[in-house]
Amino acid sequence: MCRQFILLSLSLILLGCASPQQQALPKESVLEEQRLQTKKMLRVRMERRQRVANLALPLFLAAKRYCPREPAPYLGVQLHSLKDYPLNQQDAVKEMYNSLEGIGVQTTTRGAPAHNRLLPGDQLLRINQHPVGSTTPKTQRLLNQALSSDTVTIELLRNGKKKTVQLAPIQVCRYRISISSGQALNAYAYGQSISITQGMLRFAEEDNQLALILAHEIAHNLSRHTYKKLKNGLLGGVVDLVVSASTGIVSPGFAAGVAAHFNSQSLEVEADLMGLQLMHEAGYPIKGLEEFWRRLAIEQPSSIWHGQQASHPTTVERYLLMKQAIEKITLEASAAP
């Protein structure tokens, strides 16, 4: 009797713990919703990349006078093919880009030679009489080679009709910009490229705020700050080696770490001010931009007193220095003939 009672009790407990049965959804409805969500995801990601590219181009043009290397020719077209996407996204891509046969135009950058001359969905056939490659990277290399000429002739297929478009490249001091999936409010300069997080992209609601972030990172690259930090770190590494050799104790790399961040706050301020100047020369409104640092302080309170990191000034310092710089630039611009 006791055994039966125990078994009954266990059965009731298991029944009580059982999860509710999920209602079976029609397969067609699931597939349709997957398709719609995939299209929306692809469209939003494309729009974010487009926004960054559109805001960056005026800065790349303004950066020519500061460029540490020769400016490069640029058309402002982004290519893609169906092979560039995972299988579970390809049906949505086909709907968005008219089946996307071969190598197609994904987007063009506002203000660039390709803008409104090449359209999303155009299928490229030949570049300067050479057939396009079988993949996007191969076609991109062919396009890069064609940029050395004064005019790039592109044969394409648009809505079933062949068309020839001639484009004249412009010269820019350009850095490749990628968008990372991180949610932190940050952006990074790597010397030859720039990365901005999804979190920062959403935080910078206004275009001039996002342009400020991009200009700051471009200024880091123009001023070769990455190489300066690397050089300092290498010098610190030499000190670590000397300490290890003289004491017999393996150095944990303390000197290299300290040296890499030596004068780092000054470099950040320099990038802030140079980025602001770039924005002004590119034609962006700069009045009130110092408010960006007050907004950032709300999300990162520690930056009010100690900076986002030891290598960064506080948001208080950045606000006040930028406000002074804006007033100076505005005064000089009003006094100019």
Closest listed residue to residue 221, CA positions, set 271, 259, 269: 271
Cα dist from 67 to 70, 141, 175, 218, 252, whole Å = 7, 23, 11, 10, 37
Contact 170, 113 (CB under 8 A): yes
pLDDT of residue 67: 96
Higher pLDDT, 203 or 13: 203
pLDDT of residue 258: 43
**Range 72-171 has CATH code 2.30.42.10:** yes
Q: Find the mean pLDDT for residues 80-103.
A: 93
pLDDT of residue 312: 82
H/E run at residue 127 = strand 123-127
Q: Kindly indicate the confidence band of residue 262, based on its pLDDT and cuts at 50, 70 and 90.
A: very low
Res 27 pLDDT > 70? yes
Q: For residues 278 and 255, what is the distance between their CA atoms, to the nearest angstrom? A: 35
Q: Kindly indicate the confidence band of residue 259, based on its pLDDT and cuts at 50, 70 and 90.
A: very low
pLDDT digits (tens, 9 = 90+) for 300-322: 999 998 755 567 899 999 999 99
Res 12 pLDDT > 70? no
Res 289 pLDDT > 90? yes
Q: Find the mean pLDDT for residues 263-276.
A: 92
Domain ranges in the chain are 72-171, 204-335
Phi, psi dihedrals of residue 109, rounded to the nearest 5°: -95, 130
pLDDT of residue 59: 98
Q: For residues 272 and 278, what is the distance between their CA atoms, to the nearest angstrom? A: 10
pLDDT digits (tens, 9 = 90+) for 100-110: 999 999 999 99
